[in-house]
């Protein structure tokens, strides 16, 4: 622990109460009646427990300085949630059009909607609504796809900065005349690369290279981009040492398209275009083969697992447990609006359900031993780890756990909130039970205060 300056001038405040987190995959750590001390930069300066000698004194001193927030005995402190894959412009389409296969959904519903973001007034209304909703749901970090439009995507980044949400934001690149409609396509390959470069420089200018909102190079997926655009975006990634995001081997159609065009899988094509790095987030990746897995692991790229979207669009379930056991970085996403929910707690539940379906199998006409895949299921602690610590590792950010030097991105869950669907029974629920109950049933009514980098970004008194 760092020595605390007696005047506490370098301390923003302390939060006293019980914190729950999963610093190691599959394990819960309970910081019972802890005191988390946050510095003026919004980083965790120290974590004290009642057995640490200075606990009482520091707690009293912070109280005297008006810098102590004490949780009630129905409240728990948890790390903020990380959404590794979300399409901001698809927010107006949430819960709609989910009966269609991916290709039809893109061409009949999604591209027409995204084309509307030439209108920055519309963009502002949608993006403010979404960022506020995510923060109120405890999503402290979001990895956003915007649209092809430079101005609307700049606005999305500005709104994240204004609301204090940690984010990666990408201007979507789509220049392939054969796969993108005339009404929704970059004007040319050169313009596609130019607009991405302008977006990176704009956002770095607004937020700084280590700011809380950073640019991500975003070729939508292989079908939407020409070879030259893919290569050009790979060069930009190297030049700017930027994050990269794209969809990878999502469904049978897009996976087969990539193979017929390049004679190799999406992962290998992306690698050859310079788009697989330790700053790459690959959405879905359901159809990756053993060699792709090695490529992703070696490069330390990460996979954004979006289980509901996969059930609806992907023709398969990601073998998430096997990937994690092999040391591949995997976090969770919502894939709004391919996934029709905003809460990453819902992604946790669906990741558990998907993994169980993979393990048990779903076709009752087969004998049980032929129905599923052994050792495929994950538990709630692994799911919560992916939603927090795993997502943080995937991004290379110090978020997702309570540890000295980490950013204080956190939420208070009030288990006794009005309208709570979560009910605790004193003397019957262990800390592990409480975390499991939170994952399954704590939602917006339970989320009281949300912080990003020590700043309050959502607050409600329910
Ligand atoms: N592949 C290309 N674009 C999209 C999209 O917007 N959503 C999903 N789920 N997959 C895509
Ligand atoms: Fe997506």
pLDDT tens readout for residues 318-339: 999 999 999 999 999 999 999 9
pLDDT category at 53 given cuts 50, 70, 90 is: confident
Quick one: pLDDT at residue 210? Answer: 80
What is the distance in A from the centroid of ligand 1 to the CA of 204?
Answer: 26
Residue 221 Cβ contacting ligand 1 at under 6 Å: yes
Quick one: pLDDT at residue 278? Answer: 98
Residue 147 Cβ contacting ligand 1 at under 6 Å: no
CA–CA gap between residue 165 and residue 21 (Å, rounded): 21
3-state secondary structure of 283: strand
Residue 338 Cβ contacting ligand 1 at under 6 Å: yes
Please provide the average confidence, as pLDDT, over all residues in the chain: 97
3-state secondary structure of 380: helix
CA–CA gap between residue 126 and residue 230 (Å, rounded): 29
CA–CA gap between residue 84 and residue 249 (Å, rounded): 17
Percent of the chain residues topping a pLDDT of 70 = 98
CA–CA gap between residue 246 and residue 173 (Å, rounded): 10
Give pTM, 2 decimals: 0.98
What is the distance in A from the centroid of ligand 2 to the CA of 412?
Answer: 29
Residue 220 Cβ contacting ligand 1 at under 6 Å: yes
Residue 97: nearest ligand to its CA? 1
Quick one: pLDDT at residue 462? Answer: 57
- The string of pLDDT tens digits covering residues 148-187 is 999 999 999 999 999 999 999 999 999 999 999 999 999 9
Quick one: pLDDT at residue 425? Answer: 95
Query: Which residue has the least CA distance to atom 7 on ligand 1?
Result: 338
Residue 87 Cβ contacting ligand 1 at under 6 Å: yes
For 51, counting Cβ atoms within 10 Å of its Cβ (0-12 exposed, 13-18 middle, 19+ buried), the class is: exposed
Backbone φ and ψ of 79, nearest 5°: -65, 150
- The string of pLDDT tens digits covering residues 356-406 is 999 999 999 999 999 999 999 999 999 999 999 999 999 999 999 999 999
Quick one: pLDDT at residue 207? Answer: 84
């Amino acid at each position: 622990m760092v020595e605390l300056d007696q005047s506490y001038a370098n301390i923003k405040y302390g939060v006293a109460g019980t914190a729950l987190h999963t610093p190691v995959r599959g394990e819960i750590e309970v910081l019972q009646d802890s005191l988390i001390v946050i510095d003026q930069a919004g980083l965790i300066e120290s974590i004290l427990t009642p057995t640490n000698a200075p606990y009482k004194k520091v707690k009293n001193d912070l109280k005297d300085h008006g810098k102590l927030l004490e949780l009630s005995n129905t409240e728990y402190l948890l790390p903020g949630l990380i959404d590794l894959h979300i399409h901001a412009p698809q927010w107006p389409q949430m819960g709609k059009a989910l009966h269609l296969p991916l290709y039809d959904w893109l061409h009949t519903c999604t591209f027409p909607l995204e084309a509307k973001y030439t209108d920055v007034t519309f963009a502002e209304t949608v993006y403010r609504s979404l960022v506020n909703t995510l923060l109120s749901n405890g999503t402290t970090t979001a990895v956003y796809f915007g649209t092809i439009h430079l101005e609307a995507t700049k606005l999305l980044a500005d709104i994240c900065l204004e609301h204090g949400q940690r984010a990666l934001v990408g201007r979507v690149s789509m220049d392939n005349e054969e796969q993108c409609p005339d009404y929704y396509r970059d004007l040319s390959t050169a313009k596609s690369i130019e607009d991405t470069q302008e977006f990176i420089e704009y956002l770095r200018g607004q937020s700084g290279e280590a700011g809380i909102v950073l640019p991500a190079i975003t070729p939508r997926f292989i079908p939407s981009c020409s070879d030259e655009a893919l290569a050009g975006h790979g060069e930009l990634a190297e030049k700017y040492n930027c994050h990269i995001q794209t969809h990878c081997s999502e469904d049978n159609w897009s996976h087969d398209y990539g193979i017929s065009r390049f004679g190799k899988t999406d992962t290998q094509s992306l690698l050859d275009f310079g788009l697989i790095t330790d700053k790459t987030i690959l959405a879905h990746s359901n159809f990756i083969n053993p060699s792709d897995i090695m490529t992703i692991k070696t490069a330390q790229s990460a996979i954004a697992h979006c289980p509901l979207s996969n059930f609806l669009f992907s023709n398969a379930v990601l073998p998430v447990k096997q990937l994690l056991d092999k040391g591949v970085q995997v976090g969770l996403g919502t894939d709004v609006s391919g996934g029709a929910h905003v809460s990453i707690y819902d992604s946790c539940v669906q990741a558990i359900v998907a993994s169980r379906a993979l393990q048990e199998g779903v076709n009752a006409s087969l004998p049980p031993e032929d129905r599923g895949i052994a050792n495929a299921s994950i538990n709630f602690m692994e799911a919560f780890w992916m939603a927090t610590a795993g997502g943080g590792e995937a991004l290379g950010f110090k978020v997702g756990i309570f540890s000295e030097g980490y950013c204080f991105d956190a939420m208070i869950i009030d288990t006794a909130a009005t309208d709570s669907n979560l009910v605790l029974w004193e003397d019957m629920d262990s800390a592990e039970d409480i975390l499991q109950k939170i994952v399954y049933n704590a939602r917006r009514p339970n989320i009281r205060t949300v912080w990003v980098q020590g700043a309050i970004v959502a607050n409600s008194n329910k």
